[in-house]
A and B are shown apart, each in its own frame.
Chain A
Amino acid sequence: MSQSLPKGAIFIKTLVLFIGALLLFAPFLFQDTRSLEVAARICIFVVLVASYDLLIGYTGIVSFAHTMFFGFGAYGAAIALRQMGPGWDAVVLGGLTGLAVSIIVATVIGLLSLRVKAIFFAMITLAAASVAMVLASQLSNLTGGEDGITYRAPEIFKTANKLMVNEDGKVARLFGVKLNGKLAAYYFVFGTCLVMFIFCLRMVASPLGTVLKAIRENEARAEAVGYRVVAYRTFVFCIAAGLASLAGTVYAIWLKYTGPDTALAFNIMIDILLMVVIGGMGTMYGAAIGAVLLVLAQYYLRDLMGAASEAMQGIPLLPELFDADRWLLWLGIIFILLVYFFPKGIAGTLWDKGARP
């Protein structure tokens, strides 16, 4: 297999490597705050989508609770950072608490509902996620309610922090980029996300990944061969939940703010779904492609649509349909068309191109 990779596969892998390189040098290539924000968001979402792909693409179970676990991690770090002040002890304690809660909840949900039909599982995770969202907005003395929590990140990530000082005592520059805490924070996000993404890649290539694929293809047969399907499914659900939770912690440190909109909203779940389908389910590399495309669209397509809406003033209904806030409408339509015509997504469709029969 490894000797005769189809051209498409090589192309996809090169593309993902290219994306990785762009993200690695992002602070130097695009020197403004918004671009850095976009790059960090892409890193986080690559991990979220990759861990979600473990579920939907490799094991064939649909969960709507992925943002819930993301939120557990984010809120864990946020609450700890606010109560204990900025410090690594708070990050570790909060992150681990979030991780523990995620894994416990995932185990309970998995054991309760993964033994019945897959569709039950989808519905139950949806219900659980909505309960988590309501709880977050209700327990306002702990979570800050709808307003969320703002807090300070550990000392090293402060924008005012100088990593290196030049002769004048000012912050040193490398290729014109200030070597300050913001840069350190970005590389913290990039590094942790890279590790988690590689973990996902490694996991699907392992014997465990093969068992998961077997369960996806034919559940009864996998069971008959002797694999305990429920145990495997619950296990992978826990792994995915743990990764999402860690991603949430990292994102909370980056943003220095955690609220329902950034960590728990159902919109994030929809984003993840769109990314995984656009990128390609069950390819892992597709996660990176989907995340890049969608985050870019989120940040830059809105501006374009706003302009289109302006241009169509006077025509009934059309300006509303092209309003910048309605971009999800068009993404939804693209999503439906993709599921119809390219169920394998970008990576899946291109992967087998040029393969020898």
Chain B
Amino acid sequence: MNQLSQTLSPTLERLGGVYLLPVIVALIAFVLIGAPSSWVTLTVAGLSMGMMIFLMASGLSLVFGLMDVLNFGHSAFVSFGAFVAASALAYMAGWIGSESIWLNLLAIFLAFSAAIAFGLVVGWFFEVVIIKPVYHDHLRQILITMGALIVSEQIILAVWGGAPVSVPRPAFLEGSWLIGDVTIEIYRAFAFALALAVYVALYLVLKHTRIGLLIRAGVENREMVEALGFRIDRLFVGVFMVGSALAALGGAMWAGYETLITPALGGEIMIVVFIVVIIGGLGSVEGTLLGAIMVGLMANYIGFLAPKLALASNMLLMMAILLWRPNGLKPAVK
């Protein structure tokens, strides 16, 4: 047995190591579900959900990796993004309802841009006013960002009220495609594609630009990069703002996905986001993607196979992974 695992592990590493996990999960689910058409539908749903969660979680993870700052108020950006996008879409109701696909596209582009812009501004405010005074003090960081989360939630309640807000979708994203006996909701495919594009852009920036090089170096060893004369703290403000903007974009896409949002959205998302970054390993973008995809897939498969278990599935997944790898699947090098 031991010998087998020794010969097996290099092969597994070469094939992708922990990145194989989602594939394995998908294969097991395929056997358990039995019907290929529902399996495809569930997998697409899981992947698009995972990609949206990735957008929301990536900023949190990067910020922690770079500055050792954990922002418990991160989900505030998600809810702000969702509500700003919902208001923007409602404002452009005429364009959304029109037959022209271009007006539709313009409307959704403007709504998402509004969410991103709002995320950038609120992120800057958060970083400079709330987090900067408590660098290097985890206890106070947790308390202060928690306080900020309470205040943001209350502001959302004050501005948008407690009743659920319905989010209009552009006409061309309504409905679903039917390929054979497989149904795929158009919005899910759209969300998956958009989030994938954002991930590719993020990956290219991190791996192929000078700023990306500095960020990765900063995550690995901040003191050394500072000693070489780079201002990590300034870079950090930028990373924080981008992270918040990504969370806001994720929230905006989530709003369109759910079509009915309540102020409780932030709290629900926060738990999922935390589980994702814990599973993936704090500080690494790849780990976050892996964790998000795992959570998305598991949520959909288990929701189909054993609906009663669905609530606890994320928690069980996290416990299993923490027992196996206490620092997450793919932690940033520290």
Contact = CB atoms under 8 A, between A and B. Distances in A.
Interface of A: 56, 60, 62, 112-113, 115-116, 118-120, 122-124, 126-128, 130-131, 134-135, 138, 266, 270, 273, 277, 317, 320-321, 323, 325-326, 328-329, 331-333, 335-336, 339-340, 343
SS of B interface (majority)? helix
A135 B154 contact: no
B140 interface: yes
B154 A329 contact: yes
Interface string B112-138: 000000000000000000100110001
A323 B270 CA distance: 26
Interface residues of B, number: 39
B274 interface: yes
B159 interface: yes
A122 B142 contact: yes
Contacts of A323: 158
B318 A127 contact: yes
Nearest to B143: A339
B146 interface: yes
Given A120-B278, A127-B274, A273 B146 contact: yes
A135 B312 contact: yes
Contacts of B130: 336
Contacts of A335: 143, 147, 150
Contacts of B219: none
A340 B72 CA distance: 16
A331 B274 CA distance: 25
A132 to B, nearest CB: 10
Contact of A326 (B134, B158, B326): B158
30 contacts: A60-B139, A62-B142, A112-B323, A113-B322, A122-B142, A123-B274, A124-B322, A126-B274, A127-B278, A128-B315, A131-B315, A134-B311, A135-B312, A277-B143, A321-B158, A323-B158, A325-B157, A328-B150, A329-B150, A329-B154, A329-B155, A329-B158, A331-B150, A332-B150, A336-B147, A336-B148, A336-B151, A339-B140, A339-B147, A340-B134
A317 B312 contact: no
Pick the 6 closest A-B CB pairs, nearest first.
A329-B154, A332-B150, A332-B151, A336-B147, A335-B147, A123-B274
A73 B154 CA distance: 30
A155 B275 CA distance: 46
B139 A62 contact: yes
B267 interface: yes
Contacts of B275: 127
A62 B322 CA distance: 19
B144 A339 contact: yes
Given A323-B158, A326-B158, A335-B147, A343 B326 contact: no
B312 A124 contact: no
Given A112-B319, A127-B271, A320-B158, A119 B138 contact: yes
A70 B275 CA distance: 23
A336 B134 CA distance: 11
Given A62-B142, A138-B311, 8 more contacts: A112-B322, A124-B278, A270-B150, A317-B159, A326-B157, A332-B148, A335-B150, A336-B148
A163 B268 CA distance: 48
B45 to A, nearest CB: 21
Nearest to A269: B146
A204 B314 CA distance: 37
Contacts of A127: 271, 274-275, 278, 314-315, 318
B64 to A, nearest CB: 8
Contact of A340 (B144, B155, B312): B144
Contacts of B64: 119
B309 to A, nearest CB: 11
B37 interface: no
B166 interface: no
Nearest to A267: B150
B151 A116 contact: no
B307 to A, nearest CB: 10
Contacts of B133: 340
Contacts of A331: 150
B313 to A, nearest CB: 10
A277 B315 CA distance: 29
